[in-house]
Structure 1
Amino acid sequence: MSNRIRVRFLFGGLVLALVLLGCSTETTTAAKDGTGVTTATVANADPRPVVAKATSTLPVTVRGFDGVDVTVTDTSRIVAADRYGTLAQTVFGLGLGDRLVGRSTAAAFPAAKNIPDVTPGGSAMTTEAILNLNPTVILTDTSIGPKKVQDQLRAAGIAVVYFDPARTLESVVPQIDAVAQALGVPQQGKALADRTEGEIAAAGTHVPKNADPLRIAFLYMRGPAITMIAGPGSGADALIEALGAKDAGTESGLTQQFVPITSEALIAAAPDVFLMMTDGLASIGGPDGLQKIPGVAQTPAGKNKRVVDMQDSELLSFGPNTGEVLSALAGALYPQHT
C-alpha cells in the first residue's frame, strides 16, 4: 500500500467516514461472535459518476501500458474490456457511461446490463463482434485477449489503449488517472481519484486497531474442478492487508498467486476466515459443500464455518468502488466493531 493511501487509511477518522454516508454498505451477518457465513454487499453496485455527463477534450495522445503511443480523437463509442470489469466501472465513474457501447462479462453492474458483452464466456474477444459496434476507442489490457484480436482492432484503425493489468490497492488511483487521461477528462479523473482515495481511507475506521489480526484465506472456486487458494500477488492479499488482517496463504509460505487446494496447504494456512466470491461459493454447494473440501474442516475457519463472501464482479475489481468494497468487507469481518 502506498504511503499516501496508508496514512489516509489508518488516520482518516470520523470526518472521512462521513464520505460514505451517501454510499452506505450492507452486510448479512450470521452472528456477531465471528462465526457463520456473512455476505458483504455494497448498497449500490453501480459506479457513481463524479459528474452527470462529462465532455472530453480531444485529441489526446497517451502512452499505453504496452509502450505504444496512441492518439484518441473520438470518445463517442467506447469499448472497455478487461477480466475484472474495472475499466468499464471507471468509464461510468468518470461520467462517460452513456458512451460505453461494449463491455466485458465481468462488468456485471446493473447500469451495464444492456450494454453488449464483447467477451462471452468471460475471457475471449472476437474481432467481428467488436467491429460491429463501430467503436472509436478501445480500453483493454493483457488480462483478456486473444492478443491477435487486439492487434487486428488496432490494425483496423481504432485507437486501442492498453492499461496495467495489475489489480491491487496501489493500482486504483493510477488506473483511474490513466483512463481519464486517455478519454480526455483529466479533471474528472482527479475528482474520481480523490473521492475514491477518501473512501478507502474512511473504510479504515471500521477496522479495529488493537485486536490481533485475523488470518484470512482467499479461496477461488469454480465447481469441484477448480479449487485454489491465493498467495502473494493475487490481489486478494492487498485487500486482506488493507482490512487489517494477514493473508493466510502468504503467511503459510505460498510463493505463487494461486495454487490448488490440498489438505496440507489449508491446514498450514490455518485461516480464521475464508474469503470467497459469492458465485464461487455457490458453485461448490454453498457452506455445506465447502466443508467437503479436503482440509477445510481442520482449520479454525472450517470449525467455526466462518466465511465472508462477496459478489464476483465487486470483490477484486479494485476500481472506483474500492472504498465501498472495503467498508462492506470490514463490516462483515468485524461485526462487533460496527
Structure 2
Amino acid sequence: MIEFSMPLAGVFRRLATTVCLLGAGVASALAQSPAEAKRIVSIGGTATEIIYALGEGDRIVAVDTTSTYPADTAGKASVGYMRQLSAEGVLSQKADLIVMEEGSGPADAIAILKASGIPIATIPTPPEAAGIGNKIRAVGAAIGKSEQAEALAADTERRLKTLETEIAGLPGPKKRVLFALSLANGRVMAAGSKTTADAIIGLAGGINAVADVTGYKPLSDEAVIAAKPDVILVMNGGAMHMSAEQAFAVPALQATPAAANRSFIAMDGLYLLGLGPRTPEAAHDLAAKLYPETVKPGTSKP
C-alpha cells in the first residue's frame, strides 16, 4: 500500500528554512496530482530502478546514494544517503513528488518533508521475494504508470517462478552461506533471517548459515565457527566492501569450511539485495556461483 503524505499539523523549528527553500515550488507541487509530477526525487535504489524500468527516468531530478542503477543515475543530483537525508537538500530540488522507500530517515527530516506539502509516496520494502511484485505496483501507482507496472510485476513474478522450479531440481546438499555485511574490530556483521540477504540466499538455493539470528548482527567468534559456512558472500564496491584476503584473515572465519575451500563470492550490492525487477537474474547468478557444476551462468548484467 502506498501512503501519500500531505501537510501535517504543527510547527517545526526549521520550517522557516524549508519555506525559503521551496519558494514558489510548493504551490506548483500542490496544484497537480503525483501522477502528473515532472520533477521526482527518488530515494531508495530499488524505487529508482523501478522508475527507470517503467520508462520514466527522465522525470527524476535527484536520487540518493543507493540509487546506482542504471548508469544514467550518475547524472542526477544527489540528496545523500537515504537514512541520513537533509530535508533542505531534498527540498532544494523543487520536486513535485518524492518517491521514498520505507526506512528513509532520519525522522525529523521526514517530518519536515511531510510538512512541506510536497506529495510523498512511501514504498513498502518487505525483506521477502514475495513482496517484489507489490513493490513494483506501488511505484507504478505513485507515478501514474499502474498499467506498465502491472506488466513488469507480472513478468518479474513469472521469472521468479521459473527460477524456483530450476532451483528446486538442484541435486545434492545445499550450500551454507554466510552473508558478511562488514567487519568491525575483527567481528563479522552478518545477515540473519528477515533480511534481504536471507531472501536472496534462499532464492539461489542456499541455506543462511545464521538463520537463527534476526536482522543484521555482529557475531561472536564462537557463532561464526558454529555456523560452519561453506561460502562467504559479500557486496563488492562501496565503503563496506571486503576482499577474500580480509575475510579469511579473521581467525573465526579461518576455522570454517569456506576458508578451507577459499569459497568467497562478491556481487554488486543493489543487484544482490535490491529485491526488484532484476532479482530473478541476481538469484540465478548467485546460484551459478554456488553450484557451478549444475547451474549455468546467465547473461544478465549486475
Structure 2 length-normalised TM: 0.81
Structure 2 CA distance for aligned equivalents of residues 66 and 226 of structure 1: 40
1:81 aligns with 2:43: yes
Q: CA deviation at 1:81?
A: 0.7
Is the 1:221–1:281 contact (alpha carbons within 8 Å) kept by the matching residues of 2? no
From 190, 200, 221, give the equivalent of 1:263. 221
Structure 2 CA distance for aligned equivalents of residues 63 and 312 of structure 1: 25
Structure 2 counterpart of 1:194, which letter?
A
Structure 1 counterpart of 2:78, which letter?
D
Gaps of 5+ in 2: 8-29, 297-302
Structure 1 CA distance for aligned equivalents of residues 2 and 241 of structure 2: 40
1:244 aligns with 2:205: yes
Partner of 1:27: none
Is the 1:281–1:287 contact (alpha carbons within 8 Å) kept by the matching residues of 2? no
Is the 2:36–2:144 contact (alpha carbons within 8 Å) kept by the matching residues of 1? no
Structure 2 counterpart of 1:210, which letter?
P
Partner of 1:128: 88
Is the 1:127–1:153 contact (alpha carbons within 8 Å) kept by the matching residues of 2? yes
Structure 2 CA distance for aligned equivalents of residues 272 and 123 of structure 1: 33
Percent identity over the alignment is 28
Partner of 2:170: 209
Structure 2 CA distance for aligned equivalents of residues 230 and 269 of structure 1: 12
1:292 aligns with 2:231: no
Local SS of the residue matching 2:293: helix
Structure 2 CA distance for aligned equivalents of residues 278 and 243 of structure 1: 18
Partner of 1:305: 262
1:192 aligns with 2:152: yes
Partner of 1:117: 78
Q: CA deviation at 1:295?
A: 1.0
Correspondence list, 1:1-338, <5 A: 63-64=2-3, 72=34, 74-82=36-44, 85-109=45-69, 110-119=71-80, 121=81, 123-204=83-164, 207=167, 208-221=169-182, 224=185, 227-250=188-211, 253-254=212-213, 256-279=214-237, 283-284=241-242, 286-337=243-294, 338=296
Structure 1 counterpart of 2:180, which letter?
L
Structure 1 counterpart of 2:76, which letter?
I
Q: CA deviation at 1:137?
A: 0.6
Q: Deviations over 1:151-186 (max 9, x none)?
A: 222222200111213232111111001111121111
Q: CA deviation at 1:203?
A: 3.3
Local SS of the residue matching 2:58: helix
Structure 2 CA distance for aligned equivalents of residues 99 and 198 of structure 1: 28
Instruction: Name the Cα RMSD after superposition.
Output: 2.6
Structure 1 counterpart of 2:253, which letter?
V
Structure 1 counterpart of 2:206, which letter?
A
Structure 1 counterpart of 2:273, which letter?
L
Q: Deviations over 1:200-250 (max 9, x none)?
A: 233346535222111111111156577311111122111111112211101
Is the 2:2–2:123 contact (alpha carbons within 8 Å) kept by the matching residues of 1? no
Local SS of the residue matching 2:144: coil
Structure 1 CA distance for aligned equivalents of residues 151 and 106 of structure 2: 34
Structure 1 CA distance for aligned equivalents of residues 143 and 266 of structure 2: 34
Structure 1 counterpart of 2:236, which letter?
T
Gaps of 5+ in 1: 1-61
Q: Return 198-207 or 269-278, whichever deviates more.
A: 198-207
Structure 2 CA distance for aligned equivalents of residues 237 and 323 of structure 1: 15
Is the 1:221–1:283 contact (alpha carbons within 8 Å) kept by the matching residues of 2? yes
- Alpha carbons of 1:320 and 1:158: their partners in 2 closer, same or farther (altered >3 Å)? same
Local SS of the residue matching 1:227: strand
Structure 1 CA distance for aligned equivalents of residues 204 and 252 of structure 2: 25
